[in-house]
Amino acid sequence: MDEASPFTLPNCDLALFQIYIEWPWGGKGPNITYSQSLGEIVLTYEYLQLEPIGLIFVLFFAVVLFIQLIGMLIHRCPNKYRSR
């Protein structure tokens, strides 16, 4: 019998593709379809999917930029905040 790889989780392959956040900017669409049975026009948008690891990278870079902004503002402040 084949031994399972230590790097894969059993029965979790499908669940990994369901964990994401829809990126609110840059959606594709609208895709326009006409439903003859309902007699209405349906507009659908397809948004990019941001996975959890990608969200962590985005948050990390946002924190780094914020720290950089605070550092630049302190650097530009008058000398009363600095010790000599």
pLDDT per residue as tens, the chain (84 positions)? 455 555 555 555 555 556 777 777 777 878 899 988 888 998 888 888 878 888 899 899 999 999 999 999 888 876 665 565
| Residue 2, in any domain of the structure | no
| Residue 63, in any domain of the structure | yes
Which residues constitute the domain of residue 45? 19-50
What is the predicted pLDDT for the residue at 80?
62
What is the predicted pLDDT for the residue at 19?
74
Whether residues 57 and 70 fall in one domain: yes
- In total, how many domains does the chain have? 2
| Distance, C-alpha 43 to centroid of its chain | 24
| Residue 4, in any domain of the structure | no
| Residue 14, in any domain of the structure | no
**Structural contact between residues 44 and 33, judged by C-beta atoms closer than 8 angstroms:** yes
What is the predicted pLDDT for the residue at 1?
44
Whether residues 44 and 59 fall in one domain: no
What's the predicted TM-score (pTM) here?
Answer: 0.49
**What is the C-alpha to C-alpha distance for residues 48 and 76, in angstroms, rounded to an integer?**
39
| Residue 30, in any domain of the structure | yes
Whether residues 45 and 58 fall in one domain: no
Whether residues 46 and 66 fall in one domain: no
